[in-house]
């Protein structure tokens, strides 16, 4: 089962990036090309039946499987990045993080009006990042059809929060 395989490989790093956080490190997955292919295939199966025109991946770990997923679906991939990283004209969305606020950006010509967008990130925690990404996509009058993750931290209730944004949520491994 893919969930078991993911859990066998993902590495817990205690107290990173700050005390009390258990960081789920997906880099060991990347060293295993067969598992990467299996994960990509499992993401595709989970999303079967949903029309997706574009995959938007969130910096930076959302780029890894976001790009593989877009390739498998044969649709474009677009990066959502932290402020100041994208070179051409961008739109912005601010959101609250634990201490203060952050800004994410998208090239304004990355997605066209009416396109159906899947947002991808490596991990769903509180859901704040994906909620902001969804608002960003909607600024371009595109439609977010769902969000997909490799890992979901269920105890942080991100899925509940995303229901408020009417966001269908998919994850391969839950803790």
- Give the catalytic positions in this structure: 61, 98
Q: Interface mask (CB under 6 A) for ligand AMP, residues 67-86, using x and -?
A: --------------------
Nearer to ligand AMP, 15 or 108 (CB): 15
| Angstrom distance (rounded) from CA 94 to CA 166 | 19
Q: How far apart are CA 143 and CA 154, in angstroms?
A: 25
Minimum CB distance to ligand AMP smaller for 9 or for 125: 125
Residues 146 and 165 sit within 8 Å (Cβ to Cβ): no
Q: Are 131 and 95 in contact (CB under 8 A)?
A: yes
Token pair, residue 111, equals 């997605």
Q: Which of 6, 42, 58, 70 binds ligand AMP (CB under 6 A)?
A: 58
Our finding on whether 169 is near ligand AMP (CB under 6 A) is no
Q: How many residues bind to ligand AMP according to rule CB under 6 A?
A: 16
Question: What whole-number distance in Å separates Cα of residue 102 and Cα of residue 93?
Answer: 8
Q: How far is CA 123 from CA 41, 57, 128, 152, in A?
A: 18, 12, 12, 6
Least separation, in Å, of the C-beta of 151 and ligand AMP? Answer: 8
CB atoms within 10 A of CB 65: 26
Which candidate, 163, 122, 168, 141, places its Cα nearest to that of 29?
122
> 126 or 135: whose CB is closer to ligand AMP?
126
Q: How far is the CB of 5 from ligand AMP (least distance, A)?
A: 18
One symbol per residue from 96 to 135: x for binding ligand AMP (CB under 6 A), - otherwise; what is it? -------------------------xxxxxxxxx------
Q: Which of 5, 9, 10, 24 binds ligand AMP (CB under 6 A)?
A: 24
Would you tell me which residues interact with ligand AMP (CB under 6 A)? 21-24, 58, 61, 121-129, 158
């Amino acid at each position: 089962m893919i969930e078991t395989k993911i859990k066998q490989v993902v590495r817990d790093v205690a107290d990173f990036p700050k005390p009390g956080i258990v960081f789920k490190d997906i880099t060991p997955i990347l060293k295993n090309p067969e598992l990467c292919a299996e994960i990509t295939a499992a993401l595709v199966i989970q999303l079967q039946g949903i029309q997706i025109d574009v995959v938007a991946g969130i910096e930076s770990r959302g780029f890894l499987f976001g790009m593989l997923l877009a390739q498998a679906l044969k649709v474009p991939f677009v990066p959502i990045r932290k402020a100041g990283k994208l070179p051409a004209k961008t739109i912005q969305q601010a959101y609250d993080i634990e201490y203060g606020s952050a800004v994410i950006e998208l090239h304004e010509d990355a997605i066209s009006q009416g396109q159906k967008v899947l947002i991808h990130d490596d991990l769903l925690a509180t859901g704040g990042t994906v909620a902001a990404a969804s608002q960003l996509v909607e600024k371009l009058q595109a439609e977010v059809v769902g969000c997909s993750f490799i890992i979901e931290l269920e105890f942080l209730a991100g899925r509940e929060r995303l229901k408020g944004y009417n966001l269908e949520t998919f994850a391969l491994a839950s803790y």
